[in-house]
Structure 1
């Protein structure tokens, strides 16, 4: 069993706060990501969305398309409407060989609002759960039929954030709904990535690796800060620069036969955290953790 190492362009330029790294060209992101040692990239807002345009750009850098974020609104539109809305994104992923779609319900989300503290994260009513689950199952079935599996992203500031919400999501959805395991978001929500990996090993189809600076997370919670203020204060960092136990997590991935991407996705202020420096640190750390866990890497 082996994994591939990818990175998200958030290291260079931020989607939730476009002013962070706003002047950094896509070319710089891709060239430095490759230089740091990664073999693939997730999508960001500066990426062309036409596969005939993006494909040659990635090929020039020797990079693969890993996946890309999709904002779903299943609480306010039907499964059929959501399928129509995601078709261009699905086409892009499928055309360039990505097999997982980073999928997150954004109705009522607060992670992009700097003036809303994380304590105000939304939750679904019972009626909303009863609406959401059948629609998500339908969309997931459709995507899987097209060769791309939904990797549901539990995310701070959204309706699926806590371990309890993940548990219900996994219990009530069909196997077509894969799980994206994000170590940083899980720790930020009070969860344990190692425990979740063991519990849902068969459902995990994508992995995001962001580390946590414990004291900054504690400060964000104690002062009831917003997600974006937590980011600006350095709550997240690349693997190897925080306190998450990636070796044990990766041992679990190896034992479960995981063969997908392992992706550095650690939003920081690039004016404070030099992107190439942190990209190299993240890649080197992942390689070391994989070696210690006995998890092989495909270049």
Structure 2
């Protein structure tokens, strides 16, 4: 892969989980970004412990050679909360723009069960109506226009437990929105949802020209099977270790890297592998993931 086109980042969720703050509560912001740098990463997404004062944040990051590449941004267009969503989006966009990020990774959270104590596979997952899809498309088209004014791109993070999780739902999203609205491709969520390497790769191949941000996340099949068999929630699965860093689970990332390389992908590849830090030492796993990427991409 071309190291002039690809930058490598890692998400702080391996150190402290914002959805379950008790996981990694002992890990400080400074420790997190220091260990990211020591492991060989140059980028980070934004966690709950990160200062929102951009001067302080820049100072802390620049000393470690780390830059901000993205931040989770929730949208609620399907629920009809357009005004509230756009107001919060603008605040996040301005923060990310000040930090030098070029993309804004959004997740449509209307009816999401990812944080609830409900089976992640089953009848509780939200299915959008045609009206809700229209609301979503209108909203995303509008925020994409706002982002473009700042030279930024909006991309949607398909995610377990949300109304845009499956291959069909990703297809519907991509059909509904304008061409200047993009996709954040997540290997782990695609595999978790569809259950196969082939299905995960087919999403990547189909939308490679519309993908502007990539999450590298591996999956442990045995935990996913337990989640299905016992009717566990998404967060139950995270605690048990459903996710891990590239090279430590069932996904073969070599074809992922090949597809990105052949398409001339430019942007960030971000390791995002939330686990229980008391079980999976964040620094050790960051090093493991970085080593695997180096061995398989040369970056």
TM-score by length of 2: 0.94
Shift in Å at residue 282 of structure 1? 0.9
- Counterpart Cα distance in 2 of 1:286 and 1:74: 36
* Selected match of 1:157 from 161, 177, 194: 161
Matching of residue 215 in structure 1 with residue 215 in structure 2:
no
Task: Compute the RMSD of aligned alpha carbons.
Answer: 1.3
Change beyond 3 A, Cα 1:50–1:77: farther
**5+ long unaligned stretches in structure 2:** none
- Counterpart Cα distance in 2 of 1:182 and 1:61: 26
Identify the residue that residue 27 of structure 1 maps to in structure 2: 30
* Selected match of 1:290 from 275, 287, 297: 297
Shift in Å at residue 24 of structure 1? 1.0
- Counterpart Cα distance in 1 of 2:127 and 2:294: 37
**Contact preservation (8 Å) 1:48, 1:54:** yes
DSSP-derived class of the 1:188 partner = helix
- Which stretches of structure 1, 4 residues or longer, exceed 6 Å deviation after superposition? none
Shift in Å at residue 165 of structure 1? 0.2
What are the within-5 Å matches in structure 2 for residues 1-299 of structure 1?
1=2, 2-77=5-80, 79-113=82-116, 115-118=117-120, 119=122, 120-190=124-194, 192-291=199-298, 297=299
**5+ long unaligned stretches in structure 1:** 292-296
**Contact preservation (8 Å) 1:79, 1:136:** no
Q: Which moved more, 1:94-103 or 1:140-149?
A: 140-149
Shift in Å at residue 105 of structure 1? 0.9
DSSP-derived class of the 2:241 partner = coil
- Counterpart Cα distance in 2 of 1:153 and 1:226: 19
